[in-house]
Structure 1
């Protein structure tokens, strides 16, 4: 076979393979259109996924990024939920996760304090702005719980979160 025919056959195979891959991707593209397909996730699944992640966090070795992921999942579940119980649980967990995140930020910032001298007594300056912002967000979720709390069976949990 001449060299030209070999190159042409390889080029044709690449084009045919690309066309098949494009057609397959195009035909599978509409699976979750409108969240009616196989990939739709219910707010309960969001909540229980976040709850499982929160319960599996190691008490000492967790990062702020893990908590941010849990917050994102809980916010998605709270936004899509229609059940009052899931909304209340998500808001309570959002308050708790933001409080835990603020604690982690404070302890990690405590090690990064800046030593300021040239004063009568030297002291360390801590940057607590991210901690205060996280606590402000936790307070926002707590106010959202107080404004529209509907689930009577969670009232003891709500009082515990308010006390924190």
Structure 2
């Protein structure tokens, strides 16, 4: 019985300790204007947290992401348009902050690189498969090898 009470006390303590964290929704911001709320949500998914591993501002719980969400909210409340907000973020954090960077000379490798690697991989795969087929065709059969060995041995007796 004392073990059961101790286990329940630990479970209750754990539940109470995690309740405040789980009841808060990260990044939830309510605007009075639903269109601002919609723009805010769209921009949260278009912008990347610069300190996280491939997470949008909507997905990240990092301190910088909270700061960027607050900046985004402030800019929307100030009346900035989406392009103005994106330009501001790019000027401050670079194009890395964009989830979909523009197709420009600076990002050609980013956009074209995967296709080049795919083509290169297919060429290597094709060459490897072709080379193994050629090697198999050139290998003599057992009977051919025996005949050649007999011929060489018989020529060697004549010497």
| Greater relative CO, 1 or 2 (CA 8 Å, sep 6+) | 1
TM-score, normalised to structure 2, is 0.31
TM-score, normalization by structure 1? 0.30
